[in-house]
Amino acid sequence: MTYKMLIVDDETANLRLLERLFSRDYECLTATSGPEAIRLLEQHDVAILLTDQRMPEMTGIELLRHTSRSRPHMVRILLTGYTDVEVLEEAINSGLVYMYVTKPWNNEALKLKVSRACDHYESNKMSSSLVTANERLLGRLREIKLRVVTSLGEMLQVRDEYAYSHAVRVSVYAGAIAQQMELTEFNIEELSAAAEQNEDMLLDALDEATGAQLIAAGSGDSFSFTHDKIREVLYEELNPIRRRRLHRHVAEGLERRCKSSSCAVEKLAHHYIQAGDHQRGLEYAKQAAAEAARVFAFDEAIAAYGRARDCAEALGLTEEQLAQEEAIGKAFMLHGDTILAAEHFEHALALATDPGTRVRLQSQAAASLVTTGDPRGSEYLREVLLVLDPVTNPLETANALSTEARFHHLAGRHKKAIELLMRAVELVGPIAEGEHVSPFAATVISQMYPYTAGGYQHYGLYEESDHWARRAIEFGEKHNILFAQASGIEFLGENCIHKGTYKAGLEYAEREIEIANKLHSRERRAWTHYYAAQCRLFLGETQRAEQEFLDGITLAEAIGENRVLGLFRSSLAVVQATQGRYDEALRTVEDNFQRSSPSLIYSHFEALRCFAEVRFRRGEIEEAEQLCRQAEELVSPTESRVSRLWLGPLYIEVLLAAQKRDEAATRLATYQALVADCQSPRFSSEATRLATLIN
């Protein structure tokens, strides 16, 4: 099937470029303005709309807003060279935009995104058809219900008028119970508690409702509505006051049942909140969150903490609201979503007035902000370390030290980072070796061991790095902390690239993906794609490596993880050059270099190094030498041995190609001394190979 694609851009050159890019695979329509695009949409069934944002007559978002009403199932992609973040966020959050693409774009990545947009289009069409069908069905069900009520009433008036009203009343209770999670199924035990009827009377009522084709018997003690619209009709026809009373009645019935059986606290929280009793809703939501957190059910815990926070806000309980925001942040940290964790820690910080509480929250916010090199983290740490006492606050001090170490690490000061991490590890040693750890300790130590592995990795001591990665895994396995296990495995996998044990790296990637899926952590999955792709590249599996990089780019863009995103793009360019696609590789690497931030030193170094490699593979020796020199100048003030280990072989080969054999020999001697001081068979082999080339 050939999809129709409408491309809108007021710049004719861009319009023609995009048309050429997609005309082979899609039926392309073009427009130079929003009004012209609207006219075309009135005449054509368009699947994909790709529009520029900044246009004179109508902006891209205005066009998308207009088309969202007339063509809801069409997939809308926004193309922009501007960073109008608030407008983009509003458009994405309101569902106007399926995705946005920044200029200049990467052709292959853009084609992949549009291909995925077609899958989304098919899904949208199906959903749209279902919505229309459901609306028709709802109308029919209302008519059917009216007929059922009338005919059943007439029938039951002959037999037992009470049985009819009781059957409908029981069905309404069932609707309230099922409405909680938008399920069609409900349990007879819960229904009995809510309806306050003995089992015989309840079963009689259920028989009547079954006869009316409102419900059907399921497995065990469960029943289900014959269609979810029946549940909605029963529930929605109640006025708001009756709904609240119904939920309170259900909650109180379930609460009484708690005395003799296990208490479904998440259901109690739901019904009390729906009843408007936020105090009890808060109590039960907190219990539900604690139970979910205890078994590391992160999504359920975060949802329950969110309900508790909303109740606290409704009650005006600022301290409770703060506590729930902090709990959500901790859950996201253990989930591996550090960007979302930072957001909630800062929400909590905005509510805090107590100095001790502010110190704790600043430490946690800094720990989550460090992953992206956000300078706000450094500001928080400066305030924290002025206050903390390592004797009375060992865990808090260790957390601040390890976070400070991470900032040093990102700046290339690895010896200082390792020194701080060793102090932090000593402070938490007794806590880590205990049988139980608090959620705060779990979060801190789960980061500390991987940070230490990272410090040694960038200092070229891969055996030491592996040791601390395994410590992270052991800690995670002992206390059932999946994030610690995933982080430890990630460093073992990355170290396989540096040591040259690529097959082992792929095995680690498989292990981490399993854990990342349990965590539902896109950040962990993104980093797994990175080292898996590198291993495949060095094993000669270039096509699979490229797909890993492309999948990783899509994921990193979705979660805003710019650090790994830059690494993906740099390496993708090398893969393209390896396959002889030199022009495409150059576009990719140039685009990535323009986006690269010098504040993230290693990512920026990799952007330069891969740029140099692409130039070298294109035979542009002078340009490659200049880029190697820039990369060396970037890391020369740092202690980043890993950068020098990777740059050395490329720089020496570039010098040999430039007929600068003496300089190459001098650099080789320096490189051999570096390799001797590190722990990597891979780079030892590289040094031997380079010596053969020179001699």
- Whether the Cβ atoms of residue 564 and residue 596 lie closer than 8 Å to each other: no
Q: Which residues of 489-505 are buried (b: 16+ CB within 10 A; e: fewer)?
A: bbbbbbbbbbbbbbeeb
Q: Are strands 215-217 and 222-225 parallel, antiparallel or unpaired?
A: antiparallel
> What's the CA gap between 486 and 497, in Å, rounded?
17
Do 94 and 172 fall within a single domain? no
**What does the pLDDT look like over 491-532, one tens digit per residue?**
999 999 999 999 999 999 999 999 998 887 888 899 999 999
Instruction: Report the chain's C-alpha Rg in angstroms.
Output: 30
pLDDT tens sequence across 80-132: 765 555 556 566 655 677 777 776 677 777 887 888 788 777 766 665 554 55
Give domain status of residue 348, yes or no.
no
**Mean pLDDT of the 304-325 span:** 94
What the block records as the tokens of 63 is: 């066009």
The mean per-residue pLDDT over the stretch 583-598 comes to 90
pLDDT tens by residue, 183-241:
444 555 555 555 555 555 556 556 656 665 666 666 666 666 555 555 555 555 556 77
Whether residue 391 is contained in a domain is answered as no
Q: Are 169 and 114 members of one domain?
A: no
92, 78 Cβ separation under 8 angstroms:
no
Q: For residue 8, give the CATH number of its domain.
A: 3.40.50.2300
- Which whole-number Å values give the CA distances from 559 to 29, 86, 246, 364, 366, in the listed order? 31, 16, 41, 20, 19
Hunting for tokens 């246009």 — which residue is that? 55
Contact 101, 113 (CB under 8 A): yes
Hey, is 16 helix, strand or coil? helix
Please state, rounded to an integer, the average pLDDT across all residues of the chain: 82
Last residue of a domain, one of 315, 342, 377: 315
pLDDT tens digits along 276-308: 999 999 999 999 998 888 776 778 888 899 999
- Please name the residue that has the structure tokens 């699979």: 544
pLDDT for 146 beyond 60: no
Contact 221, 261 (CB under 8 A): no
Alpha-carbon gap, residue 633 to 628, rounded angstroms? 9
Is the C-alpha dihedral spanning 61, 67, 68, 73 positive or negative? Answer: negative
What does the alpha-carbon distance between residue 374 and residue 340 come to, in Å, rounded to a whole number?
Answer: 14
CA distance 330 to 368: 10
Token reading at 296: 């590391």
Sign of CA dihedral 408, 413, 416, 417: positive
User: Long-range contacts of range 194-201, CB-CB < 8 Å, 24 or more positions apart?
Assistant: 194/249, 194/250, 194/253, 194/254, 195/169, 195/170, 195/253, 196/253, 197/170, 201/166
Q: Tally Cβ neighbours within 10 Å of residue 130.
A: 11
Same domain, 286 and 171: yes
Task: Inform me whether the pLDDT recorded for 650 exceeds 90.
Answer: yes
182 and 84 fall within a common domain:
no
Could you tell me if 170 and 127 lie in one domain?
A: no
Task: Name the residue type at position 152.
Answer: L
> Tokens 């928080």 label which residue?
380
3-class SS shares of the chain: helix, strand, coil, % to 5: 75, 5, 20
Q: Which amino acid is at 316?
A: G
Q: Would you tell me how many other CB atoms lie within 10 Å of the CB of residue 345?
A: 28
Give per-residue pLDDT as tens, 47-91: 899 988 888 888 888 888 888 777 877 888 888 765 555 556 566
Lookup: tokens for 191: 């229904």
Percent of the chain with pLDDT over 70: 79
- Residue 227: exposure state from Cβ atoms within 10 A (0-12, 13-18, ≥19): middle
CA 121 to chain centre: 22
Question: How many residues appear in the chain?
Answer: 695
Q: Quick one: average pLDDT of 628-632?
A: 96
Q: How far apart are CA 592 and CA 414, in angstroms?
A: 26
Number of domains in the chain: 3
Q: Is residue 284 part of a domain?
A: yes
Task: Please tell me whether residues 209 and 284 are part of one structural domain.
Answer: yes
DSSP states along 237-248: TS-HHHHHHHHH
Strands 4-8 and 48-52, sheet pairing: parallel
pLDDT of 394 strictly over 60? yes
The values of phi and psi at residue 23, to 5°, are -65, -25
Domain shared by 116 and 252, yes or no: no
Residue 627 lies in a domain: yes
pLDDT digits (tens, 9 = 90+) for 11-47: 887 788 888 888 888 899 999 998 899 889 888 889 8
Look-up of token digits 């549940």: 231
Task: Look up residue 366 and give its two tokens.
Answer: 């800094």
Going by C-alpha positions, the residue among 620, 681, 683, 688 that lies closest to residue 654 is: 620
Which of 293, 315, 337 is the endpoint of a domain? 315
Token couple for 589: 């690497």
Task: State the Cα angle at 189 between 184 and 192, rounded to 5°.
Answer: 95
Give the range among 231-235, 474-478, 509-513, 651-655 with minimum mean pLDDT. Answer: 231-235
Q: How far apart are CA 243 and CA 249, in angstroms?
A: 10
Specify whether 71 is located in the same domain as 181.
Answer: no
For residue 210, the one-letter residue type is T
Which domain-ending residue is among 108, 131, 154? 131
Closest CA to 532 of 571, 483, 560: 571
Residue 409 lies in a domain: no
Establish if 17 belongs to a structural domain: yes
Does residue 327 lie within any of the structural domains?
no
Query: Domain range spanning residue 594?
Result: 565-695
pLDDT at 155 over 80: no
Alpha carbon distance 672, 489 (integer Å): 30
Residue corresponding to tokens 């269609």: 227
Q: Can you tell me the distance from the alpha carbon of 281 to that of 25, in angstroms, rounded to the nearest whole number?
A: 54
Rounded Cα gap, residues 397 and 390, in angstroms: 5
The answer on 204 and 246 residing in a single domain is: yes
Q: What is the CATH number of the domain that holds 609?
A: 1.25.40.10
Query: In this predicted structure, what is the pLDDT of residue 13?
Result: 73
The reported pTM is: 0.57
pLDDT at 210 (0 to 100):
67
Same domain for 299 and 188:
yes
Cβ atoms of 512 and 528 within 8 Å: the answer is: yes
| Residue pLDDT, tens place only, 633-648 | 999 999 999 999 999 9
| DSSP output for 580-636 | T-HHHHHHHHHHHHHH--TTSHHHHHHHHHHHHHHHHHTT-HHHHHHHHHHHHHHHT
416 has pLDDT over 70: yes
* Distance between start and end Cα atoms, the chain: 59
- The verdict on 183 and 126 lying in the same domain is no
Residue 168 pLDDT > 60, yes or no?
no
- Asked, for residue 233, whether it belongs to a domain, the answer is yes
72 and 204 part of one domain: no
pLDDT at 474: 96
